[in-house]
Every structure is written in C-alpha cells, then in structure tokens.
Amino acid sequence: MHELPDQADAHLVAQYEAYPYPKRDPRDEGKRLILGSPGHLREIDHWVFGAHRPRSQPLRALIAGGGTGDATIMLAQQLASANRPGRVTWLDRSEAAHGIVRGRAAARRLTNVDFQLVSLLDLPGSGLGPFDYIDCCGVLHHLPDPAEGLRALVSVLAPGGGLGIMVYAPHGRTGVYMLQDALRLLAPVEEAPPARLDVARRVMRHLPETAWLRANRYFSDHIDGGDAGLYDLLLNPRDRAFDIPRLFALLDSAGLTPTCLLEPLRYDPATWLPDPRLRARAAALPPMQRAALAEALTGNMSVHVVYCTRTAEVPPPPDALAPDAVPLAREMPAAELAKHIQPDLTLPFLFDGLRAPLPLPRLAAPILRLIDGARSVAEIGAELAKRGIDQEAFARDWRGTWEMLSGVNRILLLPPA
C-alpha cells in the first residue's frame, strides 16, 4: 500500500468519502446515459487510435480515479450497446464512490465492468493491466505529485495504447482560487467536511459583488454540482490548474504527446483571429505555442481535455479523405447538424459562452444528410454524383466540412470492423 504522502491527501480521502463525486443516484440510470469527454468510445476510436484500430479488437480500458462512475458507465454501456468486446476497469480509493458505481453498473446489468478499490499510485507492479486506454478525468491535479501519478498510469499502458486526461485550466476558473484562499481561513481543512460545507454555503450567500467568481459568467460548477460540486470547487484540500505550457510539460515528463486537445478548433488561434496578419504570425508558431496563444487569448477555458499516446507511438492521423473512410456523428445525428446551418452557410457554435460561427462549404448540408455511420466517403460522393454534383466539387467541400466538424468533435471516423 502506498504511504499517504501528506496531510492534504488524507483530507482528500476524507472529502471523497463524505462527498463522493459527482453526486449520482443509481436509480437515474433508467432515465439517461451521461455522456462526456474524455472516455467517449467514438472519441477513443478516433482521437486515440486514429480510427485505425479494428472494432473487433477487445478494448481493455482503465478509468483511474473513476469517482461515482460517469466515464466507466458511459464507456461500458457504449461497448455493450455496440456489441463490442472489451472490459472497463473502474479504479478509485473512495469506498463511497465504489458503492455508487457498482449500483449504477448493476442497474444497467453491465457485465463488462471490473472494480479496483486502490490508489492509482499503487498501479506500478500491481499486476493490473496492461490497458489499451486509460482515462483520468479531474484527478491528476489533486495528487501530491501529478507527474508521479501520470507515470504510474503509463506504467500499465499497453504498447500502442493511449490516454484521455482532463485537468483544470486557470483562466476559466478565475475567482475560484481567491475563494479557496478565503475558505481556508474561514473553514480550516482540519474541520469536518459537513462543517466546512456549511461555511462555504454561507459565504456564497453573501459573496461581494466584486468577487471574481461572480463576474465569471460562464463558469457554473458551483451552481450546478450540489454539495459534492461545491465542496470540490471551493474546499478541495488541493487543486492546481495547468495552463497549456504546464500541461505539455507534464505530458512530456511521462513520455507522452497530445493527439488532440478538445475541441481542436478551440485551440487553433485562427478561430479567434480574423486579422490575416495576426493569423500569419500565429501560424508560424509551433503547435504548443499556438494552443497556448488560443488559451491566453480566449481566457475562458476552465479545463483541458487531452488525448495522448507515447511520443514514439503517435498513430497516423485519421484519413477522412480516403474513399473507404466512414464518417459518423459523435452524438447529434449529422442530418440534425445540417438543420442548424444558417443561410450564410455558418454553423453557430458556442464554447463556454464564446461564439464561433463556423464557415462551411456549399455542399456541407447535402453531405451531412448522407452521413449515417455506414456510408463511406466514396459512397456519399457517388450518391451526390447521381444528383449531378461533380466529384471535384464534392471532394473540395467534403474536405472543408470535415475540417470544421472534426475540429469541433462533431463528425469523426468509424474504425474498420
């Protein structure tokens, strides 16, 4: 068993026993499936494996710091619904969360989930794994040493596998850390979690008008998350935010390279720089600096979701221009997406309050209406050819449609059977 390295970590254990995160009730499983990133099967297929890994190959997934089970249940259900082989291992050290995720899996009669009530720091040499996909959402930034945590995960990553990680980002959390400072004084971390929560609720009731969290209009975790959410946001014994340079340095320290930051267009400064001279300057920067520029410019990112692989094993990017490529919608059906295209051929998109009208080519709507996760690019082209659309125009407009809609994680590629 790994020694608890410090007091903050002992308080973190107490927090997630008192307030397993996020608050979930197994009885709700009959009503809805919670979807998110990272850990969505279509994203893993596309962004981790470049849509090259056959669907028939069993997927061994680890959800490290899985909490009450959102990613575990989503991925296990998606595998089961698609009749795909693989198992999902939930791992966490919260007994309270363990009870809830087991209840959720049982409510769905999922038989492809395993449970490990251990610390992720104990993974090296544990005999667990190897795993083709490792998910770690909202966990590394709470650890005493995030780089040690990430190395522990990589120690059980199978050759050719990849990770999906979420860490907090600083600018979109403006106001959070000031209130954490205030609450450390008003509700010392040594006090019992319910007493601390009561103090936080009282503080929120009379938050001074100038408190930055009040001005932070697009950040609502403290409003939506109930007790577990408020505690996690304002009373967490340790959380640190990673800006892009820090995130890349963290990944690099574990020998990892990003294959995708979600959503890619959000991290492309060109999306936010209409001025051609500025675009040219931004385009000349290396990839990490381009993403850092987008982060600093937009100022509203509160998390980073990144998929990554070992630096020596980055797969070739998904090839959407190949005739046998099969595009599919992540969730909202492509035909439905087409309905949102405006008369000026833009698709309105919102990134945490930041509007981005995505320019689409003329044939985007007819192409989207033919995307059903079964037709290949060649078949879509052939269908449009019957309607008198020439192949050159189709190829050009498919490329333009793809660049925009994969850039917002809406249209991805289906891997081979």
Ligand X SMILES: C[S@@+](CC[C@H](N)C(=O)[O-])C[C@H]1O[C@@H](n2cnc3c(N)ncnc32)[C@H](O)[C@@H]1O
Task: Point out which residues bind ligand X (CB under 6 A).
Answer: 12, 16, 21-22, 65-67, 70, 92-94, 97, 119-121, 137-139, 142-143, 232
Q: Which residues of 93-122 are buried (b: 16+ CB within 10 A; e: fewer)?
A: bbeebbebbebbbeebebebbebbeebbbe
Closer Cβ to ligand X, 115 or 346, answer by number: 115
Distance of closest approach, residue 127 Cβ to ligand X, in angstroms: 17
Closer Cβ to ligand X, 18 or 341, answer by number: 18
Closer Cβ to ligand X, 70 or 397, answer by number: 70
Closer Cβ to ligand X, 19 or 402, answer by number: 19
Distance of closest approach, residue 9 Cβ to ligand X, in angstroms: 7
Distance of closest approach, residue 67 Cβ to ligand X, in angstroms: 3
Helices (H) and strands (E) in the chain, counts: 17, 11
Closer Cβ to ligand X, 12 or 51, answer by number: 12
CA angle 411, 413, 417 (to 5 degrees): 145
d(C-alpha 376, C-alpha 414), whole Å? 10
d(C-alpha 390, C-alpha 22), whole Å? 51
Name the residue whose CB lies closest to ligand X: 67
Distance of closest approach, residue 302 Cβ to ligand X, in angstroms: 14
* DSSP-assigned letter for residue 279: H
CA distances from 172 to 109, 177, 222, 351 (A): 38, 11, 13, 11
Distance of closest approach, residue 156 Cβ to ligand X, in angstroms: 13
Q: Are the C-beta atoms of residues 52 and 261 closer than 8 Å to each other?
A: no
Closer Cβ to ligand X, 97 or 179, answer by number: 97
d(C-alpha 76, C-alpha 109), whole Å? 11
216 contacts: CB under 8 Å, gap ≥ 6: 172, 173, 174, 175
Closer Cβ to ligand X, 92 or 397, answer by number: 92
Closer Cβ to ligand X, 12 or 377, answer by number: 12
Distance of closest approach, residue 181 Cβ to ligand X, in angstroms: 20
Residue from 289, 285, 282 nearest 248 by CA: 289
Distance of closest approach, residue 94 Cβ to ligand X, in angstroms: 4
Distance of closest approach, residue 358 Cβ to ligand X, in angstroms: 28
Question: What is the helix (H) or strand (E) element at residue 163, kind and residue range?
Answer: strand 157-168
Six-digit token pair at 143? 């650890």
Tokens 């932070």 correspond to 216
